[in-house]
Structure 1
Amino acid sequence: MKSYVLFFDQVDRSSLPYVGGKGANLGELSKAGFPVPDGFCVTTYAYQDFIATSPEMDSLLEELNAMDPDDLNQLRKLGERIRTHLQQLEIPFQLRREIIHAWESVGKEHAYAVRSSATAEDLPTASFAGQQDTYLNIKGQDELLQHVRKCWASLFTDRAISYRAKNGFDHRQVYLSVVVQRMMNPEISGILFTADPVNGNRKVVSIDASFGLGEAIVSGMVSADLYKVKDGNIIQKNISEKKIAVFSLPEGGTVKKDLPPDQQTKQALSDSQILRLAELGKRIEKHFGSPQDIEFCIENGKIFVVQSRPITSLYPLPDIPQEPLRVMFSFGHVQMMTNAMKPLGLSVLRTIFPKNVFLEAGGRLFVDPTEVLRTKLGRKMLPKAFKNLFDEAFSHAISEVIQRPEFLQVPPKKGLVKSRRQIIAPIIKNVWKNLHKRDPKLAKSKVESFMQKKWTEVREALQSVSGAERLEAVQYQLSILAKDLLPNLLPYVACFPISFMLLKKALGDVKELYQLNKSLPGNITSEMGLQIGDLADLVRELPEVEEYLKHANDQTFHEGLLNVRGGERFKRAFDNFISKYGHRCPGEIDLTRPRWRKAPTQLVPAILGHMRSVKPGEHRKKFIQGEQEAQEAAQRIMDQVGRRGFKSKWINRLIDVYRHMGGLREHPKYLLTLILDECKKAIMAEAEELVRKGVLHQAEDVFFFTLDELIQLSKGEFQQDVSSFVAERKEKYEWHQTLHPPKMMTSEGEMVTGSPRKGEFPEGALVGTPASAGVVEGKARTVLKPEDAHLNEGEILVAPHTDPGWTPLFQSAKALVTEVGGLMTHGSVVAREYGIPAVVGVDDATKKIKDGQMIRVDGNQGFVEILSGENK
Structure 2
Amino acid sequence: MEHPGEPDPAGDSPVLALECLGQGMLAKVGGKAANLGELARAGLPVPAGFCLTTLAYLDATASPALADVHRALAATAPDDLAGLASLAAKARELVLDADVPAGIDAAVRAAYAALGADRAVAVRSSATAEDLPFASFAGQQDTFLNVVGADAVLAAVRRCWASLWTDRAVTYRAVQGIEPSAVSLAVVVQRMVDAAVAGVLFTANPVTGRRHEAVIDASPGLGEAVVSGAVNPDHFVLDGATGRILERRLGDKGMIIRPLPGGGTERVAQPGAGLAPSLDDAQLAALELLGRRAEVHFGSPQDLEWAIGQDGAVWLTQSRPITTLYPMPERPPSGPAPRVYLCFSLAQGLTRPLTPMGLAGIRLIASSVAGAAHFPVPVPREGPAPYAEAGQRIFFDLTPVVRSKAGRAIVPRVFDVMEARSAAVLRNLFADPRFSVTVRSPWRLLRHIVPVAARARVPETLIRGLIRPEEALRRADHVGEQLRVALAVPAGATATQRLDHVERILGRDVFAVVPAILPLPALGFALLAVAGKLAGDPGNGALQEVLRGLPNNVTTEMDLDLWSLATVIRNDPASAAVFGDPLPEIARRYRAADLPGVVQSGLSDFLGRYGQRAVAEIDVGMPRWSDDPTHILGVLANYLRVDDPALAPDRQFGRAAREAEAQVGRLVAAAGQRSRLRGALARAALRRTRMFAGLRELPKYYLVEAFGAVRQQLAAVGAELAAAGTLDAAEDIFFVDLAEAHRGVGGEALQGVVAQRREAYAAELGRRHIPRVLLSDGTEPEAVQIKAGQTGAVQTGAGGRGPAGADGSAGQLSGTPASAGTVTARARVILNPQGAHLEPGEILVAPSTDPGWTPLFLTAGGLVMEMGGPNSHGAVVAREYGIPAVVGVPDATARIATGDNVTVDGAAGTVMPAR
Same fold (TM over 0.5): yes
Q: 1:8 aligns with which of 18, 21, 25?
A: 18
Instruction: Tell me the distance in 1 between the aligned counterparts of 2:567 and 2:75.
Output: 46
Instruction: Tell me the distance in 1 between the aligned counterparts of 2:186 and 2:591.
Output: 56
Cα shift at 1:571: 4.6
Cα shift at 1:304: 1.4
Instruction: Tell me the distance in 2 between the aligned counterparts of 1:709 and 1:159.
Output: 41
Deviates more, 1:724-733 or 1:209-218: 724-733
Match of 2:259 in 1: 248
Cα shift at 1:65: 4.5
Match of 1:477 in 2: 505
Q: 1:140 aligns with which of 149, 166, 170?
A: 149
Amino acid in structure 2 at the alignment position of 1:259: Q
Match of 1:507 in 2: 537
Match of 2:8 in 1: none
1:289 aligned onto 2:299 = yes
Describe the shift of the 1:495–1:370 C-alpha distance in structure 2 as closer, same or farther (beyond 3 A): farther
Describe the shift of the 1:372–1:156 C-alpha distance in structure 2 as closer, same or farther (beyond 3 A): same
Match of 1:215 in 2: 224
Instruction: Tell me the distance in 2 between the aligned counterparts of 1:13 and 1:606.
Output: 47
For the Cα contact (< 8 Å) 2:461–2:472, is it kept in 1? no
For the Cα contact (< 8 Å) 1:217–1:223, is it kept in 2? yes
Match of 2:803 in 1: none
Describe the shift of the 1:70–1:634 C-alpha distance in structure 2 as closer, same or farther (beyond 3 A): closer
For the Cα contact (< 8 Å) 2:827–2:843, is it kept in 1? yes
Structure 1 residue runs without a partner (length 5+) = none
Describe the shift of the 1:686–1:185 C-alpha distance in structure 2 as closer, same or farther (beyond 3 A): same
1:374 aligned onto 2:374 = no
Deviates more, 1:37-46 or 1:112-121: 37-46
CA displacement 1:735-783 (0-9 Å, x = unmatched) = 1110122333222333333523389996112222110111122233444
Amino-acid identity (%):
37
Describe the shift of the 1:829–1:75 C-alpha distance in structure 2 as closer, same or farther (beyond 3 A): closer
Instruction: Tell me the distance in 2 between the aligned counterparts of 1:686 and 1:846.
Output: 39
Q: Secondary structure at the match of 1:809?
A: helix
CA displacement 1:375-414 (0-9 Å, x = unmatched) = 1221232222212x22321121112233222333888999
Q: 1:632 aligns with which of 654, 662, 669?
A: 662
Deviates more, 1:665-674 or 1:114-123: 114-123
Match of 2:625 in 1: 596
Instruction: Tell me the distance in 2 between the aligned counterparts of 1:863 and 1:660.
Output: 30
Describe the shift of the 1:156–1:434 C-alpha distance in structure 2 as closer, same or farther (beyond 3 A): same
Cα shift at 1:192: 0.4
Match of 2:845 in 1: 798
For the Cα contact (< 8 Å) 1:315–1:739, is it kept in 2? no
Match of 1:788 in 2: 835
Q: Secondary structure at the match of 1:777?
A: strand
Match of 1:198 in 2: 207
Match of 2:515 in 1: 487
Instruction: Tell me the distance in 2 between the aligned counterparts of 1:56 and 1:759.
Output: 52
Instruction: Tell me the distance in 2 between the aligned counterparts of 1:617 and 1:823.
Output: 24
Instruction: Tell me the distance in 2 between the aligned counterparts of 1:639 and 1:95.
Output: 92
Structure 2 residue runs without a partner (length 5+) = 1-10, 368-382, 786-790, 797-806
Instruction: Tell me the distance in 1 between the aligned counterparts of 2:560 and 2:393.
Output: 32
For the Cα contact (< 8 Å) 2:23–2:38, is it kept in 1? yes
For the Cα contact (< 8 Å) 1:211–1:245, is it kept in 2? yes
Cα shift at 1:310: 1.0
1:398 aligned onto 2:443 = no
Deviates more, 1:54-63 or 1:603-612: 54-63
Q: So what's the TM-score if we normalise by structure 2?
A: 0.87
Instruction: Tell me the distance in 2 between the aligned counterparts of 1:431 and 1:206.
Output: 58
Cα shift at 1:497: 4.2
Instruction: Tell me the distance in 2 between the aligned counterparts of 1:88 and 1:41.
Output: 22
Q: 2:246 aligns with which of 232, 235, 248?
A: 235
Structure 1 residues 578-597: aligned runs within 5 Å: 578-597=607-626
Describe the shift of the 1:167–1:584 C-alpha distance in structure 2 as closer, same or farther (beyond 3 A): closer
For the Cα contact (< 8 Å) 1:435–1:657, is it kept in 2? no
Cα shift at 1:88: 4.7
Structure 1 residues 571-720: aligned runs within 5 Å: 571-613=600-642, 615=645, 619-620=649-650, 622-642=652-672, 644=675, 651-716=682-747, 718=748
For the Cα contact (< 8 Å) 1:120–1:128, is it kept in 2? yes
Deviates more, 1:419-428 or 1:815-824: 419-428
Instruction: Tell me the distance in 2 between the aligned counterparts of 1:731 and 1:714.
Output: 23
Amino acid in structure 2 at the alignment position of 1:315: Y
Instruction: Tell me the distance in 1 between the aligned counterparts of 2:271 and 2:302.
Output: 33
Match of 1:814 in 2: 861
For the Cα contact (< 8 Å) 2:653–2:882, is it kept in 1? no
Q: So what's the TM-score if we normalise by structure 1?
A: 0.91
Instruction: Tell me the distance in 1 between the aligned counterparts of 2:217 and 2:408.
Output: 37
Instruction: Tell me the distance in 2 between the aligned counterparts of 1:681 and 1:353.
Output: 21
For the Cα contact (< 8 Å) 1:435–1:654, is it kept in 2? no
Structure 1 residues 49-128: aligned runs within 5 Å: 49-52=59-62, 57-66=66-75, 69-108=78-117, 110-128=119-137
Q: 1:537 aligns with which of 560, 567, 581?
A: 567
CA displacement 1:808-859 (0-9 Å, x = unmatched) = 3333222222222210011211121222211112234344434444321111
For the Cα contact (< 8 Å) 1:554–1:598, is it kept in 2? no
Describe the shift of the 1:494–1:560 C-alpha distance in structure 2 as closer, same or farther (beyond 3 A): same
1:757 aligned onto 2:768 = no
CA displacement 1:279-298 (0-9 Å, x = unmatched) = 32122111101111100111
Instruction: Tell me the distance in 2 between the aligned counterparts of 1:605 and 1:801.
Output: 19
Q: Secondary structure at the match of 1:739?
A: coil
Q: Secondary structure at the match of 1:316?
A: coil
Describe the shift of the 1:769–1:40 C-alpha distance in structure 2 as closer, same or farther (beyond 3 A): same
Q: Secondary structure at the match of 1:384?
A: helix
Deviates more, 1:230-239 or 1:413-422: 413-422
For the Cα contact (< 8 Å) 1:604–1:787, is it kept in 2? no
Describe the shift of the 1:342–1:847 C-alpha distance in structure 2 as closer, same or farther (beyond 3 A): same
Instruction: Tell me the distance in 2 between the aligned counterparts of 1:496 and 1:43.
Output: 69
Instruction: Tell me the distance in 2 between the aligned counterparts of 1:607 and 1:292.
Output: 49
1:823 aligned onto 2:885 = no
- State the superposition RMSD in angstroms: 3.1
Q: Secondary structure at the match of 2:620?
A: coil
Match of 2:195 in 1: 186
Instruction: Tell me the distance in 2 between the aligned counterparts of 1:533 and 1:647.
Output: 40
Amino acid in structure 1 at the alignment position of 2:185: L
Q: 2:555 aligns with which of 519, 525, 536?
A: 525
Instruction: Tell me the distance in 2 between the aligned counterparts of 1:837 and 1:69.
Output: 34
Instruction: Tell me the distance in 2 between the aligned counterparts of 1:436 and 1:553.
Output: 45
Q: Secondary structure at the match of 1:788?
A: coil
Q: 2:589 aligns with which of 550, 556, 563?
A: 556
Match of 2:339 in 1: 326
How many residue pairs end up in the alignment?
857
Cα shift at 1:517: 0.4
Instruction: Tell me the distance in 2 between the aligned counterparts of 1:69 and 1:813.
Output: 28
Deviates more, 1:81-90 or 1:369-378: 81-90
Q: Secondary structure at the match of 2:414?
A: helix
Deviates more, 1:571-580 or 1:674-683: 571-580
Match of 2:481 in 1: 452
CA displacement 1:102-127 (0-9 Å, x = unmatched) = 22333225321111112222111122
Instruction: Tell me the distance in 2 between the aligned counterparts of 1:725 and 1:418.
Output: 43
Amino acid in structure 2 at the alignment position of 1:667: L
For the Cα contact (< 8 Å) 1:50–1:92, is it kept in 2? yes
Instruction: Tell me the distance in 1 between the aligned counterparts of 2:49 and 2:203.
Output: 25
